[in-house]
Amino acid sequence: MEHTTVIPPAEIEKQLDYCRSVAAITAQWGEKPLAFVDTYGCQQNEADSERLRGFLAKMGFGFTGSEEEARIIVINTCAIREHAEQRVFGNVGALVHVKRRHPDTLICLCGCMAQRPQVAQKIRESYRHVDLVFGPQSLWKFPEMVHGLLTQRGRTFSVEDEPGSIAEGIPVVRQDRIKAWVSIMYGCNNFCSYCIVPYVRGRERSRRPEDILAEVRQLVNEGYKDITLLGQNVNSYGKDLDEPMDFAGLLEQVNAVPGDFLIRFMTSHPKDATQKLFETMARCEKVAPVLHLPFQAGNDRILKVMNRRHTRAEYLEKIKALKALIPDIVLTSDVIVGFPGETTEEFEDTLKVLEEVRFDALFTFIFSPRPGTPAAEMDDPMPREEKLANFNRLTALQDSISEEKHAAYVGKTVRCLIDGASDDARYDLTARTPGNRLVRVVGDPSALGQFRDVKITGANKWSLFGELV
């Protein structure tokens, strides 16, 4: 396997110099200038936005939730489904009015959509109020690009198709003080036939374990209680390192970091989920008893055209092995309905997997053709109504399973992480079980940020209800 390019520390230093130059410019604008950062898509994008905010803070910006107040607007986009892209185009289109009222406001579009050549072209031609467009692989050059906009004017596009690199030492402004994301790798090499991610996020590359561990140690020292290790396919972590190691080995090392905190990770690909990983999860006391293991479809012919490289039997075998080691494991998954050529009979194999595994929660999607992926070229004869009907059967089945699984918690006392304020007036707090189920809790708000015993008093298909013990 190719070794990964690491950006030399001197290059990152140079970016921090650009931050200082920008800060000198923004300091002359009078009031403290504000930045508006809007994030679409997955946790990887949330984590990227925390780095964009880190850079922006070093450039002298504060933050606002209003486009009108902002001197710089950053839209970090997702390309996974057409619907996600349409929302972004709608919102970016509306910014033309903001630009008219405040011509000095810088408008930046980044993330996975920006990396799609068709999107970059459309922005170039039809969204002329957008000043800067850059893909995920050039995020580390954000200060230099902003500096360029402020000193040379003109629009900037940084969307070359790059395999990507690893950049350490980028400042971070995190959105939460209890839960944190830690990217352990970037990119994807799997090329599932429906998926845009490998085209927009570059090749799979891993951060060095010592850098990951240093970040985790710092987070634990700062009081973080819930740390999620992120990657598109964490199970193939470490293959590209100078000293190759596997994900189970990394988990073991993170688990050895002293402190009272939980470790989660996502996403795992079934083909790379090993018995060793399951044994490591069972042994490591800080690793939460939960696994998100997307199976996408229950029919082997469909799995094959999806290029998933696992069969239904292999998937079920792995779930069985995991349940044998961790009987109370919480399982979640992703499913696509209406893949090109999937018949209703084939779709019913997906329902059978639900009945057999009994997932705690499921993320369900209707197939969305992504230009440039093989699946977008495949024959797709099933009418949309039939796909929708299948989709509704799927969610109805999962709802009943989720409801039953949640009902089984009632009467139990569970050690939960109290992670926020409840948006429901009848409850004071939100909490998460070790398996990441949402609990709405009655109790003293001073418990925020602590692991506390919660007595579960009620449940529905979406969440649990309880009170602090």
Min CB(112)–ligand SAH separation in Å: 10
79 binds, among ligand F3S, ligand SAH, ligand SF4, none (CB under 5 to 8 A by kind): ligand F3S
Residue number with CB closer to ligand SAH (131 or 204): 204
Residue corresponding to tokens 């850059």: 134
Residue number with CB closer to ligand SF4 (202 or 466): 202
Residue number with CB closer to ligand SF4 (182 or 188): 188
C-alpha 339/C-alpha 335 separation (Å) is 10
C-alpha 299/C-alpha 312 separation (Å) is 7
Secondary structure letter of residue 37 according to DSSP:
E
Residue number with CB closer to ligand SAH (245 or 376): 376
| HSE-up (13 A, CA, CB side) for residue 103 | 1
Residue number with CB closer to ligand SAH (164 or 294): 294
Q: Binding residue for ligand SAH (CB under 6 A) from 36, 140, 181, 194? A: 194
| Angle (CA) 234 335 205, round 5° | 20
441 binds, among ligand SAH, ligand F3S, ligand SF4, none (CB under 5 to 8 A by kind): none
Min CB(368)–ligand SAH separation in Å: 4
Residue ranges binding ligand SF4 (CB under 6 A): 188, 190-192, 195, 197-198, 232-233, 269
Binding residue count for ligand F3S, defined by CB under 6 A:
13
Residue number with CB closer to ligand F3S (40 or 427): 40
Residue corresponding to tokens 């696992």: 310
Per CB under 6 A, which of residues 12..71 are in contact with ligand F3S?
41-42, 44-45
197 near ligand F3S (CB under 6 A): yes
Q: How are beta strands 262-266 and 290-292 bridged, if at all?
A: unpaired
C-alpha 117/C-alpha 79 separation (Å) is 12
Site string for ligand SAH, 202-241 (x = CB under 6 A): ------------------------------xx--------
**Which tokens belong to 7?**
């950006």
Residue number with CB closer to ligand F3S (41 or 294): 41
Min CB(294)–ligand SF4 separation in Å: 7
Site string for ligand F3S, 72-111 (x = CB under 6 A): ------xxx------------------------------x
Q: How far apart are the first and last CA of the chain?
A: 52
Cα dihedral sign, 407-397-231-279: positive
294 near ligand SAH (CB under 6 A): yes
Single-letter code of the amino acid located at 172: V
Residue number with CB closer to ligand SF4 (234 or 251): 234
Residue number with CB closer to ligand SF4 (191 or 363): 191
3-state secondary structure 285-347: CCECCEEECCCECCCHHHHHHCCCCCCHHHHHHHHHHHHHHCCCCEEEEEEEECCCCCCHHHH
Min CB(295)–ligand SF4 separation in Å: 11
Residue corresponding to tokens 């390309």: 79
Q: In what order do the strands lie in the sheet with 361-366?
A: 290-292, 330-337, 361-366
Per CB under 6 A, which of residues 348..387 are in contact with ligand SAH?
365, 367-368, 370
Min CB(375)–ligand SAH separation in Å: 7
Q: Binding residue for ligand SAH (CB under 6 A) from 76, 236, 296, 430? A: 296
Residue number with CB closer to ligand F3S (111 or 434): 111
Min CB(188)–ligand SAH separation in Å: 6
Question: CA 25 → CA 146, 171, 396, 397, 468, distances in Å?
Answer: 11, 20, 56, 57, 51
C-alpha 290/C-alpha 310 separation (Å) is 21
Nearest of 104, 131, 109 to residue 30 by alpha carbon: 104
Residue number with CB closer to ligand SF4 (139 or 197): 197
Longest dimension (CA), the chain: 66
- Candidates 2-10, 192-200, 263-271, 452-460: pick the segment binding ligand F3S (CB under 6 A): 192-200
C-alpha 85/C-alpha 376 separation (Å) is 16
Question: 390 burial class (0-12, 13-18, 19+ CB within 10 angstroms)?
Answer: buried
- Candidates 95-103, 144-152, 192-200, 210-218: pick the segment binding ligand SAH (CB under 6 A): 192-200
Sorted by sequence, the CB contacts under 8 Å of residue 410 that are 6+ apart come out as 456, 457, 458, 459, 464
Chain contacts with ligand F3S (rule: CB under 6 A): 41-42, 44-45, 78-80, 111-112, 196-197, 200-201
Chain contacts with ligand SAH (rule: CB under 6 A): 80-81, 194-195, 197, 232-233, 267, 269, 294, 296, 334, 336, 365, 367-368, 370
